[in-house]
Amino acid sequence: MSDVPASVIAELNALDGYEKMLAIDRVTVEHGVTSEELMRLMEMASSETTLPASEPEWDMSISRSKGGVDPMMETSSSPSPGAEALSEAHRYRMGYDPSNEGRMRQSQVEQAIVCPACRSPLGIPSVRPIKVTCPQCMTETLFES
């Protein structure tokens, strides 16, 4: 069916969250398989081993057009008027600005939210109100809470 080694599939099954999504993307490129086929292989491999029933299963399908949002995102069933929060804000401290000012801004990241336009994760300080320009879609949003 595919030339993805079982050891690679086992490593993918051992990962979770954002790291798993990045690894799936890497394996699809390296081995020339679709993400759907790789997910099927991972499900077949994990069904051979017993998983704890209390552990939630995540939909890890990759959509490059959507920007790939972290599956650990905290979502609510009803749309909220404020910003949508993400867990583990420390993972969204981007290192693309090596200047002293850039490092100072990166150290102030205390919250992770989702851009309301493109759903890209953004790291922001806790200062409110704050005007944020998303680097992914260039949408400017004012967050007040």
Domain regions of the chain by residue span: 6-53, 84-143
Q: Count how many Cα atoms sit within 13 Å of the Cα of residue 11 in the half-sphere of its side chain.
A: 11
**What band does 46 get if pLDDT is binned at 50, 70 and 90?**
confident
Q: Is 62 helix (H, G, I), strand (E, B) or coil?
A: coil
Q: Does the pTM of the predicted model rise above 0.75?
A: no
How long is the chain? 145
Q: Which has the minimum average pLDDT: 31-35, 44-48, 55-59, 131-135?
A: 55-59
CA–CA gap between residue 28 and residue 64 (Å, rounded): 13
Q: What is the pLDDT of residues 85-139, one digit of tens each?
A: 666 655 655 556 678 887 787 778 888 888 888 988 888 888 889 898 988 899 9
CA triplet 47, 68, 19: central angle to 5 degrees?
Answer: 55
Cβ(27)–Cβ(34) below 8 Å: no
Q: What is the pLDDT of residues 66-75, one digit of tens each?
A: 444 554 454 4
Q: Which two tokens stand for residue 104?
A: 């100072």
Rounded to a whole number of angstroms, the CA Rg of the chain reads 18
What does DSSP say about strands 130-133 and 84-86: parallel, antiparallel, or unpaired? unpaired
Q: Is 10 helix (H, G, I), strand (E, B) or coil?
A: helix
CA–CA gap between residue 99 and residue 105 (Å, rounded): 10
Q: How far is CA 53 from CA 50, 56, 57, 121, in A?
A: 9, 8, 10, 29
